[in-house]
Structure 1
């Protein structure tokens, strides 16, 4: 997918950042993501994985709709969540999309109240997202995209099990896992909720 085929606010924001043409990884995956494919995207650092997430989510959601989130992005920790939120905010200018960070260090009652007022995109650490979900503080019934950024962190502190719980609680959804290498433990997901997924590898 070329940048000519994306919504105007996003196209303008890319141009303002001096981003005129897709990187090789983006040429390979953006149209597939737009088409709804679930994928493991395996690529080295600085290949454009995070920007691909942001472009794909904004392009798919386009504008604010209802109160329940339609995109969930798992990250390893608070700082990663806040950094990704800043990136989203710079790319989504001109849209009314709402981004919210849910991480362990913040008071969970405050987070529950803030999520109640509505969000389109949740960036979350796995443990905090599950706590919020089981407190009925976040509604995943409208979820369209479930994404893991830099998935290597999943294999520490029981994060893999925490993320695996999410598909058990939601309906049909697009799953995207971004990592620097394919871990054999991902085969469990290929046998269940990602059984029809593609694997895209870039060197």
Structure 2
């Protein structure tokens, strides 16, 4: 009886929907969607009245519904809550010398160890052409494709500004490309998704290749 040929598992790359950076903060997916990710500081709930928390929750939900109007198909959201060990970073500044020295001493003690921290991330996905309306044939007009892509990027950035106006109390920070001291360009967004996939916290450079080929 002959042994069946070895069949390796399907490569992970076939399940990665990310394609390439089309702006410092916007990525394009293999399906033609566009996404932008924020890191949120969160909203401390200790000491807040229940009515205030409920009000903020309702306001946030209404904002999401408004962004998804009119047909509720162009925009979607992903939310991730990462829990991992990180060194505590402090940027507290006080006018009184005693308060500042006390804060510095406290965080100096914490910085010597890694503590479990929750990190909140929110990703907005925008689909320029909704399901059922996609073009069957690909356009060969490069200038037209570039124009359509720029329109999509502009729309994503417009929606992002609306999001940040409502999320200001949560201190949203857009994940973006950045240049290291050696001149290599890295991506905070790719680092975030890389950690979700590999559970490895490391810099991810922006290469001249699709992300799923990294």
TM-score, normalization: structure 1? 0.26
Higher strand share: 2
Say which one has the larger Rg.
Answer: 2
